[in-house]
Amino acid sequence: MEMEKDEIKLGEIWQIIKKGLVFIIITSVVFSIGSFVFTKYFMQKSYTSSVKLYVESENKGLTSYENLQSYTYAEKLVATYMQMLDTHSYYSVVAEELNNKYTPTELSDMITFTNVEETEIFEADVISNSPTNAKEIADAIAKTAPNKIGKINKNAKLKIVDEAILPKNPTSPNTKMNVLLAFLVGMVLSVIIVFIKGRTDKKIKYNDDMTTLGNLPILATIPDLDSLTNSKNRYEKYTPSHGQEYEEEFKG
């Protein structure tokens, strides 16, 4: 009995969703189109330009053990150097290099330093609403960072691994992802609406519910008298009398 009840519940849910399938599809498509238009024409775009730097330690004339220690030391220095560059004093140096086009605080919000897979390489990512400005700031970092690190430790040097390039495409917003999320949101909301409407609607419809509720056969139905009366009146209104038909035939 419990299995039969569960099957009936699942069947009812499927019938409700099936009835509102057109509404669900239309709503999902409308949400997707709205998201595409909003993302494409109204959301502010941002561009990212990156520069990669390599921490090199002085290892001339060192033994293998000393080289290993030097490598480990340089790897540990990466985190320290990122912290040293992520300071107000360094952003002031970058601001001066850019002729004070930006304040140190603005540069701090635009620049992010990240370690590259626990290596001696770290990356400076610059995010701006202008691709030209993003590359300009990244170039300033590549120019000023080695001098800053050289003042901290003479045995460690910074070398440029990858120079900054001018970004051609925005990194955000992600149009495809936003459209997909909007489609899923529209689908979920429309399914919820259809389900609530179907569960709260207690009216039994002849063509749909009578044949599904209880699996009972239909023995007889009561016609819609108002509909039949209206149909009869329309027929009498537009059907000519016998005399009119005879006169038309005689004239012909």
Domains in the chain: boundaries:
2-43+174-200, 47-162
CATH architecture of 47-162: 2-Layer Sandwich (3.30)
pLDDT at 78: 83
- Provide, rounded to the nearest whole percent, the portion of the chain with pLDDT above 90: 49
pLDDT at 155 over 50: yes
Residues 6+ apart with CB under 8 A from 248: 240
Residue bearing the bigger pLDDT, 139 or 252: 139
Rounded to the nearest angstrom, the gap between the alpha carbon of residue 164 and the centroid of all alpha carbons in its chain is: 27
Q: What is the pLDDT of residue 6?
A: 45
Residue 188 phi, psi dihedral angles, 5° rounding: -65, -45
What does the pLDDT look like over 19-32, one tens digit per residue? 899 999 999 999 99
Sort strands 47-57 and 121-128 into parallel, antiparallel or unpaired. antiparallel
- pLDDT tens for each residue of 67-88: 545 556 666 778 888 998 999 9
- pLDDT (0 to 100) of residue 89: 92
- 45 three-class SS: coil
Contacts with 74 (C-beta within 8 Å, 6 or more apart), sequence order:
55, 56, 57, 120, 156
User: Among 148, 142, 144, 104, which Cα is nearest to 123's?
Assistant: 142
CA 247 to chain centre: 74
Residues 168-215 have pLDDT tens digits of: 999 999 999 999 999 999 999 999 999 888 878 666 555 555 555 555
Nearest C-alpha neighbor of 54 from the set 153, 136, 123? 123
- Close Cβ partners of 186 (under 8 Å, ≥ 6 residues apart): 27, 28, 29, 30, 31, 32
DSSP state of 48: E
Position 124 pLDDT exceeds 90:
yes
Dihedral angle of Cα 231, 234, 239, 243, to the nearest 10 degrees: 110
Please tell me the distance from the alpha carbon of residue 139 to that of residue 148, in angstroms, as a whole number: 15
